Chain A
């Protein structure tokens, strides 16, 4: 089945700097890769997603890149702000081995943005 690895587990940056979080996946059939932001005690909230027919997608300060050949995708946050501090999860939609499209999550990256 699908396996998603995420790095780093923690990331501390100064306000205004960029943050990059990287994920790899194992199922070459996966075609949908969302990123979720989870604040303490709250639900995961979708912040951006990318489908396998594109290599990059941008939404204001957030961008995601996808390399299907290497099976990795990354989240880029520019001009970080203290309110970006949260745990970020990458995920891949499992399709191989009879899976019905459920999301498999990485272990999360705790991002701390210091003012």
Chain B
């Protein structure tokens, strides 16, 4: 079964440094997402991406964050200047095209990148 893959599995960085988290969504999927999960808390939506542009973002996704699809397979999340509170597990997710307009295709998550900001 195809999977969403994420690299690295664990990233340690110093406060103020830039990090890039990488994801390869499932190949025939069209919608891409980043979520984050602070330890012991719920999964929080960051941003969605469709047709080579951001379709929606949450209030968490401020100017320090950016996403990019640099080629036909990768989907990246960049945090420009990391803060201690950015420490979390970051999940990439993707889903296929919906049948009709019913937004009913399931979301598939990658294994996540644990980001630790020191």
Report the Cα distance A106→B41, complex, angstroms. Answer: 10
Which stretch (B67-75, B77-85, B99-107) binds chain A?
Answer: B99-107
Contact, CB under 8 Å: A107 / B41 = yes
Which of chain A's residues 16-69 have a Cβ closer than 8 Å to chain B? Answer: 31-32, 34, 36, 42-46, 49, 51
* Residue of chain A at shortest CB distance from B3: A43
CB distance from B87 to the nearest CB of A (A): 15
B104 pairs with A32, CB closer than 8 A: yes
Complex contacts, B31 vs chain A, CB 8 Å? 101
Distance between B30 CB and nearest chain A CB, rounded to angstroms: 11
Residues of chain A within 8 A of B25, CB atoms compared = none
Report how many residues on chain A are interfacial, defined by Cβ distance under 8 Å.
Answer: 26
Size of interface on B: residues with Cβ below 8 Å to A: 23
Beta-carbon contact of B106 and A105 below 8 Å: no
B111: chain A residues at CB < 8 Å are: 42-43
A residues in contact with B91, CB < 8 Å: 43-44
User: Which of the residues B48, B98, B102, B106 comes within 8 Å of A102, measured between beta carbons?
Assistant: B48
Verify B43–A89 contact, CB threshold 8 A: yes
In angstroms, Cα B55 to Cα A111, docked, is 35
A86 within 8 A of B: no
15 A-B interface contacts by CB (under 8 A): A32-B102, A32-B104, A34-B106, A36-B43, A44-B109, A46-B108, A89-B43, A93-B104, A101-B48, A102-B48, A103-B33, A103-B45, A103-B107, A104-B45, A106-B42
8 nearest CB pairs, A to B: A101-B103, A100-B55, A43-B109, A105-B43, A107-B42, A100-B56, A102-B48, A102-B45
A31-B103, A43-B110, A101-B98 known; 8 other A-B pairs, CB under 8 Å?
A: A32-B102, A32-B103, A36-B43, A36-B109, A46-B107, A49-B106, A100-B55, A108-B42
